[in-house]
Structure 1
Amino acid sequence: MMKRGYHHGNLRQALVDAALQLIRDKGPTGFTLSEAAKQAGVTPAAVYRHFDGREDLIAECARQGFLIFSDLMQYAYDNGQPSALAAFEASGRAYLAFARKHPGHYIAMFESGVSLNRTPELAAAAAGAREVLERAAADLSRHIPPEKRPPATMFSAHIWALSHGVVELFARGAPGAGSPFQPEDLLESGIGIYLRGLGLIPPDG
């Protein structure tokens, strides 16, 4: 009988899909390459035709995650108009949605301990995701005079950190991590408070 990975015609992707399931179930350090191979329906030796080790396999999971993440963030921003603020907040909600819908990718990207510089491809995908939020931040601050305008890279990083914190604490169903507010409401109010503090939106926003 033909192995499942070969039958699908894409052994590399079959291994990535297997790893994503294992990451969801056991965490990024809770599985072996042999388990990934078994899940994909191939021999352990076949894994090494595509990946040098588990970290390289996780890095590919993360790379694909950043590409999905970038597309979702860009789509949310493009469709979150009519105002730059509404579009920016839509991008934040897309962050929460991504973490819920793609937990394996999310963990590989942010919780695996694999360096974003492990491969040039992963570094480029991660940079692309940052650029989406930085462009959104730049659009939001265009009305501020250049000499008073905070760096888009700085406040987009702060918004990323705020989004990540809401995801980690309240949006992923961790035991005992309930909140009296919906994660989306927490994030939206937090973004509003932060941006008003920077003078990026008026107090009555």
Structure 2
Amino acid sequence: MPKRGYHHGNLKQALVDAALILIEEKGPQGFTLSEAAKAAGVTPAAVYRHFEGRENLIAETARQGYEIFADLMEYAYEKGQPSALASFEATGRAYLAFARKHPGHYMAMFESGISVNASPELARVAARASGILEKAAAELSQHIPEDKRPPAAMFSAHIWALSHGVVELYARGTPGARTPFPPDELLESGIGIYLRGLGLIPPDD
């Protein structure tokens, strides 16, 4: 008798859903393709109908994560309009919110070692996500004199790195005990210091 799920309508998505649970439990490198098949209720051989190996499964999980991430970033950006500053700050907060709400996707995207160029589809949606933050940075910095204005790609990369650092060090798991400050406050104050350094917001009194 075939295993449960062998003939269900969306085996590919069932495997991704199984991978998300395993990633959250064991990390992106802590499970096998056979474990993913078992969790999805199919035989290991059935997995190869959709994925050549575990890396392909993780890459698809990451791709779906970037789709969610880009949608969230875009929503945050649009919600902040017409203020360029509000839009920029909202995209930073959206990064932290995504990591908290979608830890399996986040780990597949940023902790698996999978390159964003693993597939054209993954590269496209990853570029879409980074492009939203870059657009917000370009709009916010357009009033800085050109000779003092950092490239929008560098500006957004700095904020991305700051957001990623707060998430990795303080927003996920036990490392959060290392600081008496909530991750949201750390990120907000860090972005504020950066923007003040560029003269984009007034100094504190």
Using the size of structure 1 for normalisation, the TM-score is: 0.93
**3-state SS in 2 of match to 1:199:** coil
Query: Is residue 190 from structure 1 mapped to residue 190 from structure 2 by the alignment?
Result: yes
Q: Which residue is equivalent to 2:59?
A: 59
Q: Which residue is equivalent to 2:94?
A: 94
8 Å CA contact 2:77–2:136 kept in 1: the answer is yes
Unmatched 5+ stretches in structure 2: none
- Superposition deviation, residue 135 in structure 1: 0.5
| Corresponding letter in the other structure for 2:65 | G
CA distance in 1, matches of 2:110, 2:96: 14
8 Å CA contact 1:166–1:187 kept in 2: the answer is yes
- Number of residue pairs matched? 204
Q: Which residue is equivalent to 2:14?
A: 14
8 Å CA contact 1:169–1:177 kept in 2: the answer is no
CA distance in 2, matches of 1:204, 1:79: 26
8 Å CA contact 2:88–2:137 kept in 1: the answer is yes
CA distance in 2, matches of 1:82, 1:190: 23
| Corresponding letter in the other structure for 1:10 | N
* Compared CA separation, residues 14 and 5, structure 1 to 2 (3 A): farther
8 Å CA contact 1:99–1:106 kept in 2: the answer is yes
CA distance in 1, matches of 2:50, 2:57: 8
| Corresponding letter in the other structure for 1:181 | F
CA distance in 1, matches of 2:203, 2:64: 39
8 Å CA contact 1:15–1:40 kept in 2: the answer is yes
Q: Which residue is equivalent to 2:70?
A: 70
Q: Which residue is equivalent to 2:80?
A: 80
Q: Which residue is equivalent to 1:4?
A: 5
- Superposition deviation, residue 124 in structure 1: 1.1
8 Å CA contact 1:72–1:94 kept in 2: the answer is yes
Identity, in percent, stands at 76
CA distance in 2, matches of 1:5, 1:186: 47
Q: After superposition, what is the alpha-carbon deviation per residue over 1:63-85, rounded to whole angstroms, capped at 9, x for unaligned?
A: 11011001101111111245221
8 Å CA contact 1:80–1:87 kept in 2: the answer is yes
Q: Which residue is equivalent to 2:179?
A: 179
RMSD after superposition: 1.7
Task: Give 1:1-205 correspondences, 5 Å limit.
Answer: 3-4=4-5, 6-7=7-8, 9-175=9-175, 177-203=177-203
* Compared CA separation, residues 5 and 142, structure 1 to 2 (3 A): farther
CA distance in 2, matches of 1:199, 1:6: 60
CA distance in 2, matches of 1:166, 1:176: 9
| Corresponding letter in the other structure for 1:6 | H
Q: After superposition, what is the alpha-carbon deviation per residue over 1:24-66, rounded to whole angstroms, capped at 9, x for unaligned?
A: 0011111111110111111110100110000000000001101
